[in-house]
Amino acid sequence: MAWSIAEVARMSGVTSRTLRHYDEIGLLPPAGFGSNGHRSYDEAGLLRLQRILLMRELGLGLREIRRVLDERTDPVSALREHRTRLREERDRLDTLVRTVERTITELEEGKDANHMMKINRPENLFEGLQHTAEEDAEVRERWPEAWEEARRSREAMTDADQEAWQREATAQMVRLAELMVAGTPADDPAVQSEMEAHYQGVCRFWTPNAEAYRGLGRTYVDDPRMRENFDRIAVGLAAYQRDAMVVYAEARLG
């Protein structure tokens, strides 16, 4: 049985543009072409796409995914390995949920007489944050070379570098959430100052132009996992940061 590119896009949630890109780079060639010239895929192609998406979920770059696919011939063995890594990721996310819930409790219950928030154990803020990323689905699909550059830059970081980066990223999200709760507009200088710091943080790994930076902001809202991470800190934070990034891109990146 064969499925058209439109059917595969609908089933998998991957855009037709991305499927064509996967074909162009030799990652997912179609089984054939229909009478209208459109790509079609067989069961082997669907299984290969599943493996590609699983490895993307685990943070692998396209080049690494292709290497893994070319090296492994036993799909059952490969899927068992993916299952193990997914379970490890599930455990990590469970830890993150506990971290955020504990932080919420401390922020709600730990205010002093001046309404300033106190954190009893600051180190608890970072439990489970060993693997954070500034870019995801759209960036990987539209700017794969930049995504690979970012991945290599992260891998070159020392443990101390990663800890410092994670602390600042968390603090920045909290500061932005406070501005949002206070009703500060996205184009306010205080918000845009945070976006300048955010952009410079992204530039540690890759340098997005205006279009790419806006696209990164969209992933914060469009990717359910990323939106959930933002909204655990404050509901609506993902959309608020996206809007602020749009303002920054138009004003500072041309």
Mean pLDDT of the chain: 78
CA 205 to the chain's CA centroid: 14
* pLDDT at residue number 190: 95
Range ranked top by mean pLDDT from 59-73, 194-208, 221-235 = 194-208
CATH 1.10.490.50 positions along the chain are 76-252
Tokens 């993307």 identify what position? 56
pTM of the model: 0.46
Choose between 29 and 141: higher pLDDT.
29
CA distance 8 to 1: 13
pLDDT band at 125 (very low <50, low <70, confident <90, very high): very low
CATH 1.10.1660.10 positions along the chain are 3-72
CA distance 145 to 66: 14
* CATH of 3-72 given 1.10.3720.10, 2.60.40.10, 3.40.50.720, 1.10.1660.10: 1.10.1660.10
Cβ distance 216 to 135 under 8 Å? yes
Strand partners, 41: 3
Q: Is residue 48's pLDDT more than 60?
A: yes
Please give the CATH architecture assigned to the domain spanning 76-252. Orthogonal Bundle (1.10)
